[in-house]
């Protein structure tokens, strides 16, 4: 999850109770990020596209006393085409002390990092199929997040007991904020080793499997190993943690380690949250398929910011709040990203609705699985009230993360809530059997996933549409052309005459939209096929009818737009009053 900067749209969502309020951190003066460092997901260079990122061996020494980071990164790449240089990203505010290629120390003339995109000339050209290891030693003060996770960077905080409490949250600005990487969704390293050195008695909870911990001269080094992590999912979580441990026996026959690193003092609340782990696992495994990282762990770390989907070590900072549905929505949402984000990874930020739309749909779907239809529809209605329809969910062109998530520049929160409602509509259109078959194909590449027969994969929106068409045996491009590639929602025009009801879809840009419509007439549900976007239903004299009685179809609804306009006016009025009040002080 990534909630962008606090626009008016974000404030509206906070007021409506869809997003929790976040506390701001005091902003300190720090060097500005370059455009390259700030803009995660920029097009890769030809050199970056011509390598497979085989391994990242990362050593971090984190010093809370002066808020500094010493890094030593050995990056192994395999060339898929002849290469004479390597290109990685690293925030230029770090001082680079040493650069090596396969053990050979390079001179300052052999590399440069003027804007945060580092170019390294190779001592010897690489042929296709050859591998090489680039080692970079660097140090400095990592960029501080002013309002994590709204803005990316490090969070330097204190636990209630006084010890340092530190977290990284870099989805918005990318992995290059603290380690040299290829800052693009399609540049996941196949393996990551992390050795995180912190002062005693701090704990460093990391991605993947704990290999070991060594203690020397007042420092502890925690060694973690993970496979196929999303670039921004590699995370540092450091604090005076205690850990809750358990195991979940999967319906697929494997045992999944459960781990929760939490702060002292909230033991009862921590146990309550930990008790939700098996229930959520059972939901996802029974509804979607095997937990993708069962050979590592289901891990969660308590953090001084709201949360983030860090693979096998999700960040959790919701302060044990349960909403009106009686569960921790943040824990469930971030956990959903293990399937939709870490297992299935978007090929471009323009396809981010595949992460956030599916991740958001898992909340009402979980409530339906847990308690039935009432909470499912209540949660969907809450999402519906937040849909803005200012920009298409998918633009069809490469996009930067900041433009996708920003409500003023791109779809923003619509990739969450509109994306969720599009999936709800698709589910009812094609039926549960095909919908969940599509979802499994998108997530695992197979409709019959079992542990060991799938690997993390990349997916684009056109590829997702192809899966829908292949599974259903029909062409549903009309559905996605309207819902994903247009900003406005389709409008259903209903006209009643003496004998019946005429229905006509008015889709944006005049797009075809043959969406069937249910109508309840005197208590009986009838389906109008809507061939060519039009249909008619004969009605008895005096009949009472309700269009779409089961709320299956996402469409324009004037009463929701009126509500949104009212809330916007109220928020603007409140903001003016607060500004005037501040001006008088």
- Per-residue pLDDT reduced to its tens digit, 61-80: 999 999 999 999 999 999 99
Same structural domain, 495 and 529: yes
Residue 22: predicted pLDDT:
38
- Give yes or no for a contact between 206 and 312, defined as CB atoms under 8 angstroms apart: no
Q: Are residues 511 and 528 located together in one domain of the fold?
A: yes
The single residue of 260, 366, 405, 416 carrying the catalytic annotation is 416
Domain span holding position 550: 491-554
Question: Annotated binding site for Zn(2+): which residue ranges?
Answer: 333, 337, 356
Rounded to the nearest integer, the mean pLDDT of the chain is 94
Q: Is 196 a member of any domain?
A: no
d(CA 324, CA 87) in angstroms, rounded, equals 49
DSSP state of 391: S
Query: pLDDT value at position 579?
Result: 81
CATH of the domain at 500: 2.60.40
| Dihedral sign for Cα atoms in the order 64, 69, 72, 76 | positive
Numbered residues of the known binding site: 333, 337, 356
386 pLDDT higher than 50: yes
Q: Annotated catalytic, 444?
A: no
Which tens digits make up the pLDDT trace of 266-322? Answer: 899 999 999 999 999 999 999 999 999 999 999 999 999 999 999 999 999 999 999
| Claim to verify: residue 549 and residue 569 sit in the same structural domain | no
In a domain, 502, yes or no: yes
Annotated catalytic residue, options 47, 296, 302, 334: 334
Residue 326 lies in a domain: no
Would you state the pLDDT for residue 578?
84
List helix spans (H) across 372-460: 373-384, 401-405, 417-430, 432-444
Quick check: is 349 in a domain?
Answer: no
Residue 549 covered by a domain: yes
Rounded CA gap, 521 and 317, in Å?
Answer: 48
* Model confidence band, residue 585 (pLDDT cutoffs 50, 70, 90): low
> What element of type H or E holds 360?
helix 353-371
Residue 9: is its pLDDT beyond 70? no
Count of the separate structural domains present in the chain: 2
**Is 334 marked active-site?**
yes
Q: Model's pTM, two decimal places?
A: 0.93
Residue 498 lies in a domain: yes
Half-sphere exposure (Cβ direction) of 284: Cα atoms closer than 13 Å = 29
Is residue 512 included in any domain, yes or no? yes
Residue 545 belongs to a domain:
yes
The two tokens of residue 162 are 């006084």
Q: What is the phi/psi pair of residue 508, to 5°?
A: -60, 145
Summarize the confidence of residues 40-48 as an average pLDDT: 95
């Amino acid at each position: 999850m990534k909630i962008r900067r606090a626009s008016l749209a974000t404030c509206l969502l906070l007021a409506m109770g869809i997003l929790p309020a976040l506390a701001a951190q005091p902003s300190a003066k720090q060097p500005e990020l370059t455009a390259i460092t700030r803009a995660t997901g920029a097009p890769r260079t030809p050199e970056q596209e011509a390598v497979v990122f085989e391994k990242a061996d990362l050593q971090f020494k984190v010093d809370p006393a002066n808020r500094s980071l010493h890094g030593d990164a050995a990056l192994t790449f395999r060339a898929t085409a002849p290469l004479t240089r390597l290109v990685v990203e690293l925030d230029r505010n770090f001082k680079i002390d040493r650069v090596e290629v396969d053990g050979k120390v390079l001179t300052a003339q052999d590399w440069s990092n003027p804007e945060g995109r580092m170019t390294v000339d190779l001592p010897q050209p690489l042929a296709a199929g050859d591998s090489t290891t680039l080692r970079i030693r660097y140090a400095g003060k990592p960029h501080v997040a002013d309002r994590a996770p709204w803005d990316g960077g490090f969070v330097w905080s204190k636990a209630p007991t006084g010890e340092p409490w530190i977290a990284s949250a870099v989805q918005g600005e990318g992995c290059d904020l603290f380690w040299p990487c290829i800052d693009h969704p399609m540049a996941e390293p196949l393996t990551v080793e992390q050795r995180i050195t912190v002062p005693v008695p701090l704990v460093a909870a990391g991605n993947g499997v704990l290999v070991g911990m060594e203690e020397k001269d007042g420092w502890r080094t925690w060694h973690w190993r993970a496979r196929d992590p999303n670039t921004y999912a590699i995370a540092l979580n450091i604090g005076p943690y205690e850990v809750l441990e358990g195991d979940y026996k999967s319906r697929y026959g494997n045992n999944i380690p459960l781990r929760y690193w939490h702060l002292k003092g909230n033991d009862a609340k921590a146990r309550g949250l930990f008790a939700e782990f098996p229930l959520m696992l059972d939901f996802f495994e029974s509804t979607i398929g095997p937990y993708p990282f069962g050979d590592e762990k289901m891990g969660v770390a308590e953090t001084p910011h709201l949360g983030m989907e860090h693979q096998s070590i999700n960040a959790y900072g919701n302060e044990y709040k349960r909403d009106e549905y009686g569960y921790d929505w943040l824990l469930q949402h971030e956990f959903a990203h293990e399937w939709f984000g870490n297992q299935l990874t978007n090929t471009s930020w323009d396809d981010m609705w595949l992460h956030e739309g599916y991740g958001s749909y898992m909340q009402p779907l979980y409530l339906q699985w847990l308690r039935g239809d009432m909470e499912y529809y209540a949660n969907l209605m809450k999402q519906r009230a937040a849909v803005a329809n200012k920009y298409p969910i998918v633009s069809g062109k490469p996009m930067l993360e900041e433009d996708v998530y920003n409500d003023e520049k791109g779809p923003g929160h619509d990739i969450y809530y509109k994306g969720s409602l599009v999936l709800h509509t698709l589910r009812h259109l094609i039926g549960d059997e095909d919908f969940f078959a599509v979802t499994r194909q998108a997530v695992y590449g197979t409709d019959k996933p079992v542990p060991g027969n799938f690997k993390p994969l990349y997916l684009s929106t056109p590829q997702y549409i192809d899966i829908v068409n292949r599974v259903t045996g029909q062409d549903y491009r009309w559905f996605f052309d309207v819902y994903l590639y247009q900003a406005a929602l389709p409008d259903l025009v209903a006209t009643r005459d003496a004998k019946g009801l005429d229905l006509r879809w008015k889709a944006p840009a005049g797009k075809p939209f043959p969406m069937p419509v249910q109508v309840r007439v005197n208590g009986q549900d009838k389906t109008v096929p809507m061939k060519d976007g039009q249909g008619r239903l004969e009605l008895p004299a005096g009949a009472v009818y309700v269009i779409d009685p089961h709320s299956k179809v996402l469409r324009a609804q004037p009463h929701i737009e009126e509500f949104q306009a009212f809330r916007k006016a109220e928020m603007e009025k409140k903001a003016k009053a607060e500004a005037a009040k501040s001006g008088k002080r």
